[in-house]
Amino acid sequence: MAEKASEIRVIDKRWWARADSGDSSADTTERVALKPTYVEDLERRLADTTAQLQNALTERRRVVDDFEQARTRIRRDVAREVERGKRSVLIELLDVVDNLDRAIAAAGEESASPLLRGVQLVHDQFLAKLESLGVMRVPALGHPFDAVHHEAIATAPVDDASKDGIVLAVVKEGYTIGDELLRPASVIVGTLTR
């Protein structure tokens, strides 16, 4: 039986089974064209997921930055409110100092009664406590009038030109806390008469 067996010829079309042709750019193009669609789908999904991850990380950074800015703003607002509350309490306490000043002035310098000495000690201690909180008296008596720190409630005629615009008397002391004015000093200012 000399029958010739029919040859079955199989052509392997898989790209990795082909012999290297030497043309790498054509080979790469063929390889890309021959990729299974499942791999392409996975690569596309990977690229989409990577982009979503980058967007999420960017959004997270933005939210964290917003949170830090809000935290800083809240701290600043709380500190400002604490200072405002402190100022309002101190302004109320200044009336007590004014009353102590009046009591000492009414008793007079020549009277050395124990009550006057006690009031003077309370007055001095109160001022020392206010100074420890940063409250200072505004220099007024004998100083040039300063519209920022002084409030002129009256003027008094003076003949001496060197006393023109100078504070002659303090009706109510002024106070500052740090660089801020708590209350201006109520003063009487000298004006030159001609």
Listing DSSP states for 117-176 in one string gives: HHHHHHHHHHHHHHHHTTEEEPP-TTSBP-TTTEEEEEEEEES-GGGTTBEEEEEE--EE
- Give the chain's domains with CATH numbers: 24-133 (3.90.20), 136-194 (2.30.22.10)
Residue 185 CB-density burial (10 A; 0-12 exposed, 13-18 middle, 19+ buried) = buried
Q: State the pTM of this model.
A: 0.56
Q: Which of 6-15, 44-53, 151-160 has the lowest mean pLDDT?
A: 6-15
Per-residue pLDDT at 55 exceeds 90: yes
Please tell me what DSSP assigns to residue 4. P
Per-residue pLDDT at 25 exceeds 70: no
